Structure 1
Amino acid sequence: MKKTKNGCCFKGCNITSSKLLVYIDDGTNVYALCPLHLPFYLEKDEQYRDFLCPLNSTRVPIPCILSKEKHYTKYYTTYENGKKIDVSLCSHHLQNLLTHQLSSSEYRILKTQFGTFFDISDEFYDY
C-alpha cells in the first residue's frame, strides 16, 4: 500500500485529515502520524517500525529552536486553524513537546513564536 503525505503513515490507518496529523521530518524520512499512532513512533520500538511507511524527505535540518542543537534535529509540522506550524526541534525537545513535558520557558518560547497549537494548549499546560 502506497502512503501519501495526506494520510497517516501507519499501515492500515485510513485517517487522512491534515487537521489530525502531525508530520515529523528527520531529513531522511517524513512520518505523517495521527494521534492514535503517534505513540508508536515515540516508543522507538523496533517491532512497530515495520508498520510505519514514511515518505522520503527533501528538507535540510536546521538547529533546534529551543536548544540551538545542530545535530539530529527534526521538523515538527502541524496545522492549527488553517495555519501551518513548522518547528525545528532536537530529539529531546520533540519528545518533550509530544509528551507535553516542556518546561515553562520552552513552552513560552514556542507560544510566543507560533501561538497556541494543540500540543502546547491549555489542555496540557497551565503556565
Structure 2
Amino acid sequence: MDYFFLFIGAIVLIFALMLFIKFKKVQAKSAPKNNDLRTQKDENGKIDFVRCPLCSTPLAKNEDMFSRIYRPMTTADQRMTVHGCPHCYPRPEPGVKRTCPVCGKEVPLDGELIARLFNRTEGKKHVLVTGCSECYRGSPHGRG
C-alpha cells in the first residue's frame, strides 16, 4: 500500500512540474524582451529605440501611439496631434512624466502635442513636433 501512495505522489509531482514548465513558457512569450522593442535608424545611421515623444518610454512592437491626423489626406503636409503611448495615455504609469519636447513643460492629461506629418514620396512618413497645447497657447501661431 505504501508503494501505491508513493507512485501516486510521484505522478502528481511530475504533472505539477510539467504544468509549471508550461506556465513559464507562456509567461516568457508574453513578457516584452529587449528584442521585442521597436527600433529605427537615427540621423547618423545608428540604431535606436522608437520612443514616445511625450514620456520617452521605448515602445514595444505591439504598442501604438494615440494620435489624430487631420484632413486633407492627399497633401504632403498634414496637421497632427499626439496624445501619448500606452505608458502615458489615458493614464500615466507610476513615475512616468509627460513632457513637451519643445518647451519642456509638463503636458496635462487633457493636453497633446501638435505636430506636422510629412508624407514622403517614397512611402515613408516623418513627424515634426512643433509644440504642445501649453506652449501653443501663448504663441502667435497658436490656437488661442
**Which one has the largest radius of gyration?**
2
Please report the TM-score for the alignment, with normalisation by the length of structure 1. 0.28
Higher relative contact order (CA 8 A, sep 6+): 1
